[in-house]
Structures are given as C-alpha cells and as structure tokens.
Amino acid sequence: MENLYISASPVAGKGLFTAIDIRPKQIVFRFDGEHIFHEYTPEFAVQGDNWIGVGDREWVVPQPESPVLYLNHSCSPNVFVNKHKEIMSWANIPAHSELFLDYSSTELDPFWSMKCNCNALNCRHVIRSFPHLPLVTQLQYRPYISRVYWDRERQRTFK
C-alpha cells in the first residue's frame, strides 16, 4: 500500500494512483470493514455510496482510511475485487496511472444505478448492477470476480 497515493483525478475528484508499474493479476491491496446484509429495495439502493458489494445482498463498509474509498469507477477498468476482498490488477498498469474499478463488477442490487462520464470509448453512461452488463463484458470479468456475480440462476431472478 506504500506504493499507492491519492491525487486529483481527471475523472472525479480525488483518485487512487500507483507509484509503480503493476503487472496483470497482482494483488494491489486488501480492504475490509463491517459487513452489511440487506434486502434489495429502491430506498436502500441509494444508501452507502462507498460500500463495496461482496456478494448477494452483502456489502462491506470500508474502514475510514482505506484506499478503496478513492477507487473511482471506469467503464474500462484496470482492477477488480476478487472473492478475498483483494483489489487485483487486470492489465499492465504503468506507474502513476489511476486505478479504476468497474462498479458494476461489485454490485448486484437491481435498483442501483449511477450516471457515468468516465470518457472511456465504451462508456455505458448509466451503469447498473452486474446482470445488466452486456454479456460479452460479463464474460470478460468473470474469471476475476466472485462466483456469486456470474450465477446464471440468480441473474434470471432479476429480470
């Protein structure tokens, strides 16, 4: 974590940057915090801006000083959250690049959505939970994220 730093992000406010080159599939850091369990409702979906979905109806409230709080969304991400609550690199990330997570890869709440202006060529403009991702994107993300996100039976219940 000493190789990470917070700086102004061209995308949104402050962002999380790496001071060193990161190779693909490296564990960048781990986060933890209180686990929240709740049913999906429209009222509940607007709570917890900083919570990270880690399962079905399950979120983590990151500890106050966690770098994960500065991890911005991009529709073209370079890190993922794996099932061990570790931030893992997806691609080669050159030193002094911002780390980006696709928030759709950590959210199953069918009521959740967020406007996006990430400027990625494939920007989806409105981002929603994992089952709403294009199938090709789901398949790209699948090897890196918790199994609960690509459970086909569970996805069907959302439609």
Interface residue list for Zn ion (CB under 5 A): 75, 116, 118, 123
Q: How far is the CB of 118 from Zn ion (least distance, A)?
A: 3
Q: How far is the CB of 2 from Zn ion (least distance, A)?
A: 30
Q: How far is the CB of 72 from Zn ion (least distance, A)?
A: 10
Structure tokens at 135: 């199938």
What's phi and psi for 70, nearest 5 deg? Answer: -105, 5
Contacts of 107 (CB under 8 A, 6+ apart): 53, 128, 129, 130
Identity of the residue, 60 or 99, whose beta carbon is nearer to Zn ion in the bound complex: 99
Nearest to 35 by CA among 10, 50, 54, 9: 54
Q: How far is the CB of 74 from Zn ion (least distance, A)?
A: 6
Identity of the residue, 28 or 75, whose beta carbon is nearer to Zn ion in the bound complex: 75
d(CA 128, CA 15): 21
Identity of the residue, 6 or 114, whose beta carbon is nearer to Zn ion in the bound complex: 114
Identity of the residue, 33 or 53, whose beta carbon is nearer to Zn ion in the bound complex: 53
